[in-house]
Amino acid sequence: MTTYTLPKDKLPEFLSALSDYEIWAPVKKGPATLFDRLDDLKDVDLDLENQPVISKKAIFPQNEPLFSYDRKGTVTETDLNAVKNTIVFGIRPCDARSFTLLDPVFEGDVPDPYYRARRSKTALLGIACNDPFVNCFCTSIGGSPFGREGLDLLFIDCGDLFTLEVITETGKEITGKASSLLSPATAESSEQIAQAATDKIKRHIDLTGLPEKLASLFEHPVWKEFASKCIGCGICTYSCPTCYCFDMQDETTLKQGRRVRIWDSCMFPEYTLHASGHNPRATRTERFRNRIYHKFKFNMDNFHSYSCVGCGRCISLCPVNIDLIDYLSRVKETE
Amino acid sequence: MDIQKLRDEAKRALGRKEIEYLIGYKKGSYGFRISPCFIETKEEVDQLTFSPLCSLSLVNYLTIEGKPLLPADEKKSKAKKVALLVRGCDSRALNQIIAEGGISPDQLYVIGIPCSGVIDLKKIEARFPHTPDPVDVVEENGNYIITINDQSHTVPVDELKAETCKTCQYPTPLTCKKLIGDKRAGNPPQYEDIQILEAQPPEEKWQFWQNQFSRCIRCYACRNSCPLCYCDGCILEKLKPQWVKRSVDTNENFMFHITRAFHLAGRCISCGECERVCPVDIPLMKLNRKMEKDVKELFDFEAGLDPEVKPLLNTFAIEDPEDFIL
In angstroms, the CA A111 to CA A115 distance is: 8
Residue B239 clears pLDDT 90, i.e. is over it: no
Taking 70 as the threshold, does the pLDDT of residue B73 lie above it? no
Q: What pLDDT, on the 0 to 100 scale, is given for residue A69?
A: 97
Question: In this predicted structure, what is the pLDDT of residue B42?
Answer: 93
Sequence letter at residue A213: K
- For A33, list phi and psi in degrees, rounded to 5: -110, 120
Listed residues A152, A170, A200: the one ending a domain:
A200
Q: Which residue in chain A is spatially nearest to B60 when comparing CA positions? A: A231
Q: Where are the beta strands (DSSP E) in A264-329?
A: none
Instruction: Write the CB contacts of B217 (distance below 8 Å, at least 6 apart in sequence).
Output: A52, A53, A62, A238, B248, B279, B280
Query: What pLDDT does residue B147 have?
Result: 95
Mean pLDDT of B28-49: 95
Q: Rounded CA gap, B168 and B271, in Å?
A: 8
Is the domain of A237 the same as that of A289?
A: yes
Interval A289-294 mean pLDDT:
97
User: Per-residue pLDDT tens for B119-132?
Assistant: 999 999 999 988 99
**Quick check: is A72 in a domain?**
yes
In this structure, the answer to whether residues A235 and A154 fall within a common structural domain is no
Residues with Cβ within 8 Å of residue A305, at least 6 apart in sequence: A101, A104, A142, A299
Banded pLDDT at B324 (limits 50, 70, 90): confident
Q: Determine the average pLDDT of the residues in B175-191.
A: 92
Same domain, A124 and A92: yes
Q: Are residues A156 and A8 in the same domain?
A: yes
Q: What angle do CA A176, A181, A182 make, to 5 degrees?
A: 70
Q: Which residues of A107-138 are buried (b: 16+ CB within 10 A; e: fewer)?
A: eeeeebebbbbbbebbbbbbbbbeebbbbbbb
| Contact residues for A184 (Cβ-Cβ < 8 A; gap 6+) | A2, A3, A4, A5
Q: Quick one: closest CA in A to B275, which residue?
A: A319
Q: Is the pLDDT of residue A195 over 90?
A: yes
Mean pLDDT for B304-315 is: 94
Cβ–Cβ < 8 Å for B3, B22: no
Minimum distance, in Å, between the CA of residue A234 and any CA atom of chain B = 5
- Identify the closest residue of chain B to A320 by CA–CA distance: B35
Q: What does DSSP say about strands B143-148 and B151-156: parallel, antiparallel, or unpaired?
A: antiparallel
DSSP secondary structure code for residue A152 in this structure: S
Average pLDDT over residues B110-137: 93
Least Cα distance to B229 among B174, B284, B307 occurs for B284
Q: What is the mean pLDDT of residues A253-269?
A: 95
Q: Which of B123, B120, B95, B122 is nearest to B110 (CA)?
A: B95
The rounded percent of chain A whose pLDDT value lies above 70 is 98
Average pLDDT along chain B: 92
pLDDT band at A51 (very low <50, low <70, confident <90, very high): low
Question: Around Cβ B293, how many Cβ atoms within 10 Å?
Answer: 15
Region of poorest pLDDT, from A46-60, A159-173, A186-200, B9-23: A46-60
With respect to residue A205, please indicate whether it lies within any of the assigned structural domains: no
Reply yes or no on whether the pLDDT at B22 is more than 60: yes
Q: Are B170 and B89 in contact (CB under 8 A)?
A: yes
* Same structural domain, A195 and A252: no
Phi and psi (nearest 5°) for A61?
Answer: -65, 155
Question: What is the phi/psi pair of residue B254, to 5°?
Answer: -60, -50
Shared domain check, A85 and A186: yes
A89: exposed, middle or buried (Cβ count in 10 Å: 0-12, 13-18, 19+): buried
State the smallest CA–CA distance between residue B316 and chain A in angstroms: 34
What does the pLDDT read at residue A49? Answer: 62
Q: How many CA atoms lie within 13 A of A311 on its CB side?
A: 28
Average pLDDT, chain A: 93
Interface contact flag, B220 A233, Cβ < 8 Å:
yes
* Same domain as A232, residue A162: no
Contacts of B215 in chain A (CB under 8 A): 29-30, 32, 34, 53
Asked whether the ipTM of the predicted complex exceeds the cut of 0.90, the reply is yes
Whether A62 and A22 map to the same domain: the answer is: yes
> 3-state class of B152 per DSSP?
strand
Parent domain of A305? 210-333
Helix then strand then coil, % of chain B, to nearest 5 = 40, 15, 45
Provide the pLDDT for residue B72.
44
Beta bridge partners of B194: none
In this structure, are residues B26 and B50 in contact, taking their beta carbons and an 8 Å threshold? no
- Mean pLDDT for A229-242 is 95
Q: Are A163 and A175 in contact (CB under 8 A)?
A: no
Domain annotation covers residue A102: yes
The mean pLDDT of B214-236, rounded to a whole number, is: 93
Q: Please report whether residue A151 resides in a domain.
A: yes
Report the range of poorest mean pLDDT among A32-46, B103-117, B251-265. Answer: A32-46
For A270-306, b/e burial (b = at least 16 CB within 10 A) is: ebbbeeeeeeebebbbbbbbbbbbbbbbebbeeeebb
Q: Measure CA of the first residue to CA of the last residue in chain B; give whole Å.
A: 50
Residue type, B172: T
Evaluated on CA atoms A274, A276, A281, A282, the torsion sign reads positive
Residue B325 has pLDDT above 90, yes or no: no
Q: Do A284 and B65 touch (CB under 8 A)?
A: yes
Q: Does B224 touch chain A (CB under 8 A)?
A: yes
Compute the CA torsion angle B299, B300, B301, B306 (nearest 10 deg): -140
Residue among A63, A134, A232 whose CB faces B224 most closely: A232
Q: Is residue B100 within 8 Å of B93, Cβ to Cβ?
A: no
Terminal-to-terminal C-alpha distance of chain A? 48
In a domain? residue A158: yes
A48, pLDDT greater than 70: no
Pairing relation of β-strands A86-91 and A122-127? parallel
Q: What pLDDT shows up at residue B68?
A: 52
Residues B46-54 have a mean pLDDT of: 96
Note whether A170 and A286 are same-domain residues. no
DSSP A97-139: HHHHHHHHHHSSSS--HHHHHHHTTEEEEEE--SS--TT--GG
**Would you say residue A281 lies in a domain?**
yes
Chain A residues close to B68, C-beta within 8 Å: 228-229
Residue B56 sits at the chain A interface (C-beta within 8 Å): yes
pLDDT digits (tens, 9 = 90+) for B278-293: 999 999 999 999 999 9
Question: Which DSSP helix (H) or strand (E) runs through B289?
Answer: helix B284-299
Residue B230: how many CA atoms within 13 Å on its side-chain side? 24
User: For the residues B225-241, what does the mean pLDDT come to?
Assistant: 89
Whether residues A185 and A261 fall in one domain: no
8 A C-beta contact, residue A4 and residue A175: yes
Whether B198 has a pLDDT exceeding 90, the answer reads: yes
* Helix extents (H) in chain B: 3-15, 60-63, 74-79, 88-99, 121-127, 157-160, 163-166, 192-198, 202-214, 221-224, 250-263, 273-277, 284-299
Cross-strand partners of A77: A67
The last residue of one of the domains, among A200, A235, A250, is A200
Beta strands at B19-27 and B81-86: parallel, antiparallel or unpaired = parallel
> Do A172 and A268 belong together in one domain?
no
Collapsing DSSP states into helix, strand and coil, what is residue B248? coil
Lowest-pLDDT choice from A6-20, A40-54, A155-169, A274-288:
A40-54
Which residue is closest to B249 within chain A, CA to CA?
Answer: A63
Q: pLDDT by residue (tens digit) across A131-149? A: 999 999 999 999 999 999 9
Of the candidates B286, B284, B287, B316, the residue with the CA atom closest to the CA atom of residue B301: B316
**A159 and A216 inside one domain:** no
Q: Looking at the complex, report in whole angstroms how far the Cα of residue B67 sits from the nearest Cα belonging to chain A.
A: 8
List the beta bridge partners of residue A100. Answer: none
**Nearest-angstrom CA–CA distance, A328 and A297:** 12
Percent of chain B with pLDDT over 90: 79
Q: Cβ contact (<8 Å) for B279 and A249?
A: no
Query: Is the Cβ–Cβ distance between B87 and B151 less than 8 Å?
Result: no
Is B241's Cβ below 8 Å from some Cβ in A?
Answer: no
Paired strand residues for A154: A126, A165
Average pLDDT of the segment spanning B51-72: 79
- What's residue B67's pLDDT? 60
Residues paired with B48 in a beta bridge: B26
Give rounded-to-5 percent helix, strand, coil for chain A: 35, 20, 40
Q: What is the CA radius of gyration of chain A?
A: 21
The partner residues of B108 in beta bridges, in order of sequence, read B82
Final residue belonging to a domain, choices A175, A200, A225: A200
Please give the average per-residue pLDDT across B229-258, as a whole number. 91
Domain boundaries, chain B: 3-179, 192-314
pLDDT digits (tens, 9 = 90+) for A66-122: 999 999 999 999 999 999 999 999 999 999 999 999 999 999 889 999 999 999 999
Inter-chain touch A249–B61, beta carbons under 8 Å: no
Q: How confident is the model at residue B303 (pLDDT cuts 50, 70, 90)?
A: very high
The DSSP secondary structure of A34-50, one letter per residue, reads: EEEE-SSGGGB--S---
Q: What is the spatial distance between Cα B133 and Cα B135, in angstroms, rounded to a whole number?
A: 6
Query: For residues B22 and B110, what is the distance between their CA atoms, to the nearest angstrom?
Result: 10
Is the pLDDT at A124 greater than 90, yes or no?
Answer: yes
Least confident of A47-51, B43-47, B94-98: A47-51
Per-residue pLDDT averaged across B133-161, rounded? 94
